[in-house]
Amino acid sequence: MLARSNSLQPIRIQTPFLNELSWEEIARIASYGDANKYWAEGYEKNETLTNGHTVTFQIWAFNHDNLADGGGKAFITFGMKHLLGESAQMNADSTNVGGFSGSLLGQGIQSGNIRDLIPNDLNQVIKPVLKTTGLPHEDGLTTEIMTLFIPSITEIGFSSNDYTPGQGERYPVFTNNASRIKALDNGNGLVERWWTRSPMRSGNGFGPVTITGTLATTQRQASAFKGVCLAFCV
């Protein structure tokens, strides 16, 4: 239950059940710095997308991602427990030129058909953050403002000479291979490989996660169909 003594005081709750609260209530609790008093990494909230499909979001981290407006850390990072209902290509052709933001999938997530899946009440509390991503075919990094995103290889606990290091910090929810195994249709479909936003620095692909939760060393071409695991901050 929620208790509000007046509109100027923070919400206090007597239950840890994240799924019982609206996104506005979650964002308000978080804004007072109280989120990690009530919840922990891995706590879940179900959400119905605009296409009618239900997905489960997990808390991936507290005070982890940098807000784009320079106001410090985002209070909570949420990410999908599993994957969207359908796999997607990173690009129609086997190229990573333009990196994640310039890709077909990246554009769909930021402002296209995938972003349109997010219902309005959730859209209103999402905070733009700064995300660091490798550049294709070189060792450099780029930092860009993102609202909806997919994680980098670094953020899910990997490092590899095939990818530029330093693409963010690991989210605490990713602890081992089992924690990275995801299935289509919010876990109701087949276990599937899924994309990260990290382009190869030598090669034309991006870094996917395998069905056993490891970092793939084959089938990395951008034109392949793989699962999509969305994340955002409030």
At 148-179, the pLDDT tens digits run 999 999 999 999 999 999 999 999 999 999 99
Give the mean pLDDT of 94-113.
96
pLDDT (0 to 100) of residue 8: 40
Asked if residue 141 is part of any domain, the answer here is yes
Q: How far apart are the first and last CA of the chain?
A: 21
The confidence band for 233, taking pLDDT boundaries of 50, 70 and 90, is very high
Q: Which tops the pLDDT comparison, 8 or 88?
A: 88
What is the arithmetic mean of pLDDT over 36-63?
Answer: 97
Could you give the percent of the chain with pLDDT greater than 90? 89
Residue 22 lies in a domain: no
Q: Which domain holds residue 127?
A: 43-233
pLDDT for 97 equals 95
Domain-embedded: residue 123: yes
Domain assignment present for 20: no
Quick check: is 105 in a domain? yes
Residue 17 has a pLDDT of 87
The DSSP call for residue 17 is -
Question: Nearest to residue 233, comparing CAs of 12, 53, 20, 73?
Answer: 73
- Does residue 186 lie in a domain region? yes
In a domain, 199, yes or no: yes
**Per the domain annotation, does 53 fall within a domain?**
yes
Residue 75: which pLDDT band, with cuts at 50, 70 and 90? very high
Interior CA angle at 196 toward 120 and 102, to 5°? 75
The domain total for the chain is 1
133 close to 99: Cβ distance less than 8 angstroms? yes
